[in-house]
Chains A and B, each alone.
Chain A
């Protein structure tokens, strides 16, 4: 059995972040429920936060931490507006399937 490293290497965090980001992109592209699509975006933002904190730890600076706080704040503001928009869509159409919200065309 190979010896485990004393602490988790930083590159693992970056790989995890890249995987989470890709999962978010895949969810955005392939899921059909608006709420799930919105959650996929939140997953992407969290992946970004993980990268920021990892880099911040590596560089021994606080800039990355501060950036990730701002990302959280903005994500909260975006969620407030986004859920309100999703609610009005649901009120007018009684559906949360993204394919059914496509009346705008030439």
Chain B
């Protein structure tokens, strides 16, 4: 028996956030079976937030002792710790943003909270994976929980359709990912990212086949990050899913998928970068164009934000194309900035859409500034950050990404990306105009003030958006230190 057959206690400590999230989810599911009335179920929200904060603390303390765990299956480096903290933070905001929604839709079940915890658990495994098996398992833990979340209100046909489309297209993309993995394994004889890199460096493996396998894997990842031409599902899924779930899906699984895309393509496929760079280049451009130009025509706010999230995935793909240390740091900063901004925007949409999500057309936002000036002001901050106006997180996100792209001599992609963000300003500003300058219709009558937890979610997101916009150096330093080389 090898000496390292049993993991050391240091390895368990590095894996502690995942252990806490699993226990939290399981405890909530057991309590759900025991509880008989809705008053008792109120504890699920606070309980899951406690679990998330415990996991956050564990991941921060694990960042102090970086290294591999479980026979090199996982690697807890700065990159993994950054993304673990990010997805756990996303989980906290997502749960705060959905408590009121669940009560209003009369579905205050424990499953919802357990599923969010499991989804985040999968994302934590993904971002710290150093092995294709772990990437696959993490991706599936996260995805399977997300499929159910997308259809959480099971009596609502929109939710059913959203879940069905997400599930079918998600599994289809996973099959492509797996086929790519199988070929990489066959060509290099390993599923460990470092060993794959080694095998590709010696070019013992036929590089054309390796490039084809990398393309198959990119299809799988491209689906998760909603990169064109694999973005078809995103508008339907985000429109049909419950609003707080759409917010969560647009940032959590996406951030984790980008983390793993960066890690696989920069570590394992680093030696064949000149083969995949043109592919990602084209994909980044197509994603920005499709997202922005389709968003111009949307009249449903959730659908517009879905196309906007496709466009933002395109900007991050620009940083992936650069595949440099600064590109990796820029992508990390951007994903953090985008997480705060988009969760905040979806939290306001959750509040405003009200019971049964009746008010989700852009015209329904007319006069919101007169009835709920505070909420309107917060939504303004989020929209300005999505445009990329200075003093908001979005500005520095775009700035770092395009700077990294220029450093990597991607001049054309930078120019086209900047033109794209000018187009994007139009549809965000249109919403602002409707909100501030149109007379309120009957849609804002009887708009009750937002609940406490939703307010916390909105204000915390706005705080994060402004903090990253005014003092970007703090997060950028962490990102630069922990970026992939």
- Chain A interface residues toward B at CB < 8 A: 21, 24, 28, 34, 37-38, 41, 44-45, 47-48, 51-52, 54-55, 58-59, 61, 63-64, 66-67, 70-71, 74, 77-78, 81-82, 84-86, 88-89, 92-93, 101-106
Per-residue interface assignment for chain B, residues 224 to 254, with 1 indicating a CB less than 8 Å from any chain A CB and 0 otherwise = 0000000000011001100000000000000
Residue in A38, A41, A55, A92 whose beta carbon sits within 8 Å of that of B155 in the complex: A92
Residues of A within 8 A of B144 (CB): 77-78, 81
Per-residue interface assignment for chain B, residues 133 to 157, with 1 indicating a CB less than 8 Å from any chain A CB and 0 otherwise = 1001100100010011001001101
Place the interface of chain B in its size category: 35 or more
Task: Tell me whether A55 and B171 are in contact (CB under 8 A).
Answer: no
Interface positions of B from 110 to 169, Cβ below 8 Å from A: 132-133, 136-137, 140, 144, 147-148, 151, 154-155, 157-158, 160-165, 167-168
Residue in B160, B162, B172, B191 whose beta carbon sits within 8 Å of that of A63 in the complex: B191
Task: Tell me whether B140 and A77 are in contact (CB under 8 A).
Answer: yes
Task: Tell me whether B300 and A106 are in contact (CB under 8 A).
Answer: yes
Task: Tell me whether A78 and B171 are in contact (CB under 8 A).
Answer: yes
B293 at the interface (CB under 8 A from A): no
A105 to B181, CA, bound (A): 35
Interface positions of B from 267 to 298, Cβ below 8 Å from A: 297-298
Task: Tell me whether A51 and B179 are in contact (CB under 8 A).
Answer: yes
> Mind listing 23 A-B residue pairs with CB under 8 Å?
A24-B175, A34-B164, A34-B168, A41-B172, A48-B178, A48-B182, A51-B186, A52-B185, A67-B181, A67-B182, A67-B191, A81-B144, A85-B163, A88-B151, A88-B154, A88-B163, A89-B160, A92-B157, A103-B158, A104-B162, A104-B236, A106-B297, A106-B303
Contacts A63-B190, A81-B144, A106-B299 hold; do A28 and B172 have CB atoms under 8 A apart? yes
The smallest beta-carbon distance between A54 and chain B, in angstroms, is 8
Task: Tell me whether B161 and A70 are in contact (CB under 8 A).
Answer: no
Task: Tell me whether A74 and B182 are in contact (CB under 8 A).
Answer: no
Task: Tell me whether B168 and A103 are in contact (CB under 8 A).
Answer: no
